[in-house]
Structure 1
Amino acid sequence: MNYEQIPPETKDWTVVLRDGCPECGFQPGYDYGENVQRLRALEAPIMTAFNRPEQELYVRPQKNTWAPIEYLAHCAEVCEVMSQRLEWMLIHENPEFALWDQDAAAVDGEYLNRPVGSVKRDLLTNLHHAAGEFEKVPADLLERTGRRSDGSRFTIQTLAEYFVHDLEHHIHRDI
């Protein structure tokens, strides 16, 4: 399939860590252990999304909105990126994360052309891996920091919340 590129996302989503998300109801500041439970709880709605007729997964609801398969591929890559960022925070003092442009990743990764089976496999594998990695973090390391290239700072706690919000928002609202 060959669709036009979606206009780039310009919203600073880090505000959900302070204000929550009025679009999906996310509220930050919960106990760290809840992150892993919430990540694992996403498997059922992910499986439901993949049980829809395949052709529905490739339809963009609007010209400027990703199709479900694009959101699912994005979620798979978010799991991978957040696992890498967690690893850097555990190894290095206050690392700067490599720039990850989600819009460029969608185009470069040809999310809209990816086979359903490949996206499903990648998403479930990456989700399980990420949940396992976040689960291993000892409580005394939750305040370790890292930062994006735009200057946004995270602790392991807030990175986990940001990650959970990203997946929950897309899986419950966009897919």
Structure 2
Amino acid sequence: MPIVPDEKDWTWVLSRPCPECNFDSSTATPSTVPGSIESMIPRWLAVLRRPDAADRPDDQTWSAVEYACHVRDVFTLFVQRLNLMLTEDGARFADWDQDLTAIEQDYANADPSAVGPELAAEGHEAAESFARVREEDWGRRGLRSNGSEFTVLTLSRYFLHDVVHHLHDVDG
């Protein structure tokens, strides 16, 4: 059964802590981003080892494996966006329909034992990509299709919130 799409603009997490997951984006700095990513990977892998990882808690909520598929794809997407920002002045990001991706990639029927290594590999790549950002590049800018502007630093903060928030969603 399809989940109702989340159409909220979550960029507000860049200006205040998230009351649901308690993530405070202002605490993320260039030196802490890679380690923050790395620290969440084992927690995601533990979630995927749960016997009920593929079960939806209700008809309106993704299963843990569906959230993990989303996070795996978020890792990939944000590495792409980061690379775009580092190579193009005034980079523009194409729209990403996360709900359509979930259907097209069949997140609901994903195998947790296959998703775990994929998530880990993409997560390590994201951590390494942010670790390679030079100090002078953290202020480079990019524009999302809806007009939201990011620097590499605010992009990293926005990205971290997504991973933290979904870990909270699955009690990880």
Normalising by structure 1, we get a TM-score of 0.93
2:114 aligned with 1:118: yes
Taking the aligned partners of 1:62 and 1:13, their CA distance within structure 2 comes to 23
Decide which of 84, 89, 95 is 1:93's aligned counterpart. 89
Between the aligned residues of both structures, percent identity stands at 36
Decide which of 38, 41, 45 is 1:40's aligned counterpart. 38
How many pairs are equivalent?
170
Q: Which moved more, 1:74-83 or 1:93-102?
A: 93-102
Specify the alignment match of 2:129 in structure 1: 133
Decide which of 5, 10, 27 is 2:7's aligned counterpart. 10
2:17 aligned with 1:20: yes
Specify the alignment match of 1:108 in structure 2: 104
Cα deviation, residue 114, structure 1:
1.4
2:158 aligned with 1:162: yes
Normalising by structure 2, we get a TM-score of 0.95
Q: Which moved more, 1:21-30 or 1:43-52?
A: 43-52
Across the aligned residues of Structure 1 and Structure 2, the Cα RMSD in angstroms comes to: 1.1
**Structure 1 stretches of at least 4 aligned residues deviating more than 6 Å after TM superposition:** none
The runs of 5 or more residues in structure 1 that have no matched partner are none
Letter in 2 for 1:41: S
Contact 1:6 1:63 in 2 (8 A): yes
Q: Which moved more, 1:21-30 or 1:135-144?
A: 21-30
Contact 1:45 1:172 in 2 (8 A): no
Cα deviation, residue 47, structure 1:
2.1
Taking the aligned partners of 2:121 and 2:25, their CA distance within structure 1 comes to 26
Cα deviation, residue 172, structure 1:
2.9
2:75 aligned with 1:79: yes
Specify the alignment match of 1:29 in structure 2: 26
